[in-house]
Structure 1
Amino acid sequence: MTLVYVVAGEASGDVLGARLIAALRARRPDLRFAGIGGPRMAEQGVPSLFPYGELALMGLLEVLPRIFRLKRLLADAVADVAAKRPAVLVTIDSPGFTLRVAERVRPLGIPVVHYVAPQVWAWRPGRVVKLRQKVDRILCLLPFEPVFFESAGIPVTFVGHPVLESGADAGDAARFRAAHALPEADRPVIVMPGSRRMEVSRLLPVFGAALRLAEQRLPGLRPVVPVAPIVAEAVRHAAADWPVPPILVEGNDAKHDAFAAVAASGGAGLIKSGTSSLEMAVAGIPHVVAYRVNPVTAAIVRRLVKVPHASLVNLLAEREVVPERIQEACTPEALAETLLRPMLEPDVAAAQRAGFAESLAKLRAPEGLPSVAAAEAVLRMLERGSAA
């Protein structure tokens, strides 16, 4: 039986890996799978070599204390791939780890497909040359990425963005309100601080202070925080002193029900920069994008960033659809003011939603669902490998 080895380093990659495995298995029931992932891949019958939460780190100063442990995990991953000799290795996002695995495995002659193009087009574009030496094909999520990578000689397939099949727009608002006994007068707002512990520890205090200010101006706000299992306890601890106790939800169904309740009540979102902004766009929730990292990390990143926006919604629209409050601008006062605007001014909310439709239209690939397009690309790699 043909073995496909899948490496995902965080919660979003775990979801992509699970969908990819399901789509591959539907087309090739004979395939076997192994790898590194989380609960979603485990549901597909793929136990993880080690807990993938150990890889969920971000920022130069955050990684340094764990550097020796990360090196050990890298060596373990490479050794496992080498021992199992899969027909193809699929690395998913988390380039700091997954591409190091790819680089060390490539000399073994195992084809490498990297799913989710590293954003070298946004910062350090010169690194694309090194990327060409690590992977055989990239599966891109964004429509402007293929030209960039193809110009560097890297084969690319645009598969569309997985947020389009996330179900973020398919929740049940009434079910959410009933499940949490939420009074009709309460207006839920979505708070998404990220799936990494360092993000949560850095963002939730300022998010909590912003919500405290916002609630003073608009009583009845009720924060709802979707949490990944690896940060659930950290979120509970950080939100313990909030004036209005947050509703914590786990799992996609509960999260999407929360989205529906927020959208139906005219709420808004306070969102970490990243894919979460696209989820808000699919759900039709106006929001503000925020981010804050260690000042040293921020100073380094500012020298490297080559794009005008942090939000993917804004990058796709080529203008600021969603307000961004990054680093020094990520203050409680600024976040509270920006969060309240679409709830108090209908024209602001309507303008954001119009921009969402414009951005999301660019994410659709012609081949259909992103997971199906990704599976077809991996199968083509397998066919070429067997022919060789």
Structure 2
Amino acid sequence: MKLFLLAGEASGDKLGAALMAAMKDLAPGVEFAGIGGPEMEAEGLTSLFPMQELSVMGIAEVLPKYRALKRRIAETAQAVSAFAPDALITIDSPDFCLRVAHLVKEANPAQKTVHYVAPSVWAWRPKRATKMAKVIDHVLALLPFEPPYMTAAGMSCDFVGHPVVAEPRATEAEAAEFRETFMIGPDQPLALCLPGSRAGEVKRLGPRFDEALMRLRDREPGLRVVVPTVKGVAKLVRDMTARWPVAPIVVEATADKRAAFAAADLALAASGTVSLELAASRTPMVIGYDANFLSWHIISRLLRVDTVTLVNLVSETRAVPEFLGPACKPGAMSGALLELLENPTKRKAQLDAMERTMQRLGAGGEPPGLRAARSVLAFLNR
């Protein structure tokens, strides 16, 4: 069996790696080709080109790189045709992946295609599912309420669970060791600062998050801050935080990040998958996000939901405060963080919502990567 996988960002790299590991167990001898990051490479993928080239989003961010991305799309489609896989599996990053799938289907309409991560048509642009169905045959959904949207558009779809429920979490001992290593007292407040995994997000949100945490430090003088980061933006994060008035602790190693999540009392995070990682570690959070003015203006007019935070959506609560677009202001975010530290009722509401979210995403069941692999094999055997 041969599979061509495409991932364009860190969260997709994790999904792809778990799927690859499970496929190797279920279909010994499976061959992989495609594009991925360090986690997929660790499972045996030789990436066609660095995944970081695709980690851009938003209209204003994509336009300057449009020609280069267009060349990469054509190059990738040609590589798929040359590899002749049993299935092309595209993982999130629809702006790139679905364009590749379109070219591949044009060249070979019989090529089977799978897309991992259903588009959030319940949130905005519902017609995306119908458009996607022209080039995608089968969808692997992370959220339990998504399959009906996909099947209505003409694709088969399985809810496979979210990988966050299967990821290892740091123990209390590891969290205590993290605090001891960085000389953070057991009763000293510790906050995570998570401004995103893309360069544009880090540049835009980093200074605002820093100011919000500085204001919180004015009320909590002992506050320490940790900035977990990923390989693609680690240098940018270190250079940026070195100029902050109070330099935070920057960690990149996976074990350090897990320990930091477990050790933290609260987090200020960009909107996205990280909210589920925080929920898995039971770390209360405040969400902040903004995009380029043009991108945000367009997206905000298309939104069909009153929250974009996955914990709020899956738990059917609004326990996690979020500050989006023009509302992404340091003062407002700082106030919400302070309330989480001082108001036990607010903290408990979040913790309850996190527990409900993890249960609904498949906690305690078969690992999502394995469920995804079974779904792909069942699709190919139909």
Bin of the TM-score, shorter chain as denominator length: over 0.9
Alignment counterpart, residue 329 of structure 2, candidates 309, 328, 331: 331
Q: Given that residues 194 and 272 in structure 1 are in contact (C-alpha distance below 8 angstroms), is that contact kept between their aligned partners in structure 2?
A: yes
CA distance in 1: counterparts of 2:196 and 2:76, whole angstroms:
25
Distance 1:187 1:102, change over 3 A: same
Amino acid at match of 1:123: W
Alignment counterpart, residue 274 of structure 1, candidates 272, 280, 283: 272
Secondary structure of residue in 2 paired with 1:125:
coil
- Correspondence for 1:113: 114
Q: Given that residues 114 and 137 in structure 1 are in contact (C-alpha distance below 8 angstroms), is that contact kept between their aligned partners in structure 2?
A: yes
Where in structure 1 are there 5+ consecutive unaligned residues?
A: none
- Correspondence for 1:33: 32
Q: TM-score, normalised by structure 2?
A: 0.96
CA distance in 2: counterparts of 1:25 and 1:257, whole angstroms:
29
Q: Given that residues 185 and 220 in structure 1 are in contact (C-alpha distance below 8 angstroms), is that contact kept between their aligned partners in structure 2?
A: no
CA distance in 2: counterparts of 1:133 and 1:94, whole angstroms:
17
CA distance in 1: counterparts of 2:171 and 2:162, whole angstroms:
17
- Correspondence for 2:150: 149
Kindly report which structure 2 residues correspond to 1:37-48, keeping only aligned pairs within 5 A, or say none. Answer: 37-48=36-47
Q: Given that residues 209 and 330 in structure 2 are in contact (C-alpha distance below 8 angstroms), is that contact kept between their aligned partners in structure 1?
A: yes
CA distance in 2: counterparts of 1:177 and 1:32, whole angstroms:
43
- Correspondence for 2:164: 163
Secondary structure of residue in 1 paired with 2:140:
strand
Secondary structure of residue in 1 paired with 2:67:
helix
Deviates more, 1:45-54 or 1:309-318: 309-318
- Correspondence for 1:254: 256
Q: Given that residues 288 and 324 in structure 1 are in contact (C-alpha distance below 8 angstroms), is that contact kept between their aligned partners in structure 2?
A: yes
Alignment counterpart, residue 214 of structure 2, candidates 208, 212, 217: 212
Number of aligned residue pairs: 379
- Correspondence for 1:370: 368
Kindly report which structure 2 residues correspond to 1:94-243, keeping only aligned pairs within 5 A, or say none. Answer: 94-107=93-106, 108=108, 109-168=110-169, 170=171, 172-184=174-186, 186-243=188-245
CA distance in 2: counterparts of 1:140 and 1:236, whole angstroms:
35
Q: How many angstroms does 1:315 deviate by?
A: 1.0
Kindly report which structure 2 residues correspond to 1:279-298, keeping only aligned pairs within 5 A, or say none. Answer: 279-298=277-296
CA distance in 2: counterparts of 1:156 and 1:184, whole angstroms:
46
CA distance in 2: counterparts of 1:342 and 1:258, whole angstroms:
18
Where in structure 2 are there 5+ consecutive unaligned residues?
A: none
> CA RMSD for the aligned pairs?
1.5
CA shift digits 1:264-317 (9 cap, x unpaired): xxx110011111111111111111011011121111111211112110111112
CA shift digits 1:223-255 (9 cap, x unpaired): 111111110111112212323221111132211
- Correspondence for 1:63: 62
Kindly report which structure 2 residues correspond to 1:313-328, keeping only aligned pairs within 5 A, or say none. Answer: 313-328=311-326
What is the percent sequence identity of the aligned residues? 44
Q: Given that residues 16 and 40 in structure 2 are in contact (C-alpha distance below 8 angstroms), is that contact kept between their aligned partners in structure 1?
A: yes
- 1:87 equivalenced with 2:86 (yes/no): yes
Amino acid at match of 1:37: G
Distance 1:184 1:244, change over 3 A: farther
Secondary structure of residue in 2 paired with 1:49:
coil
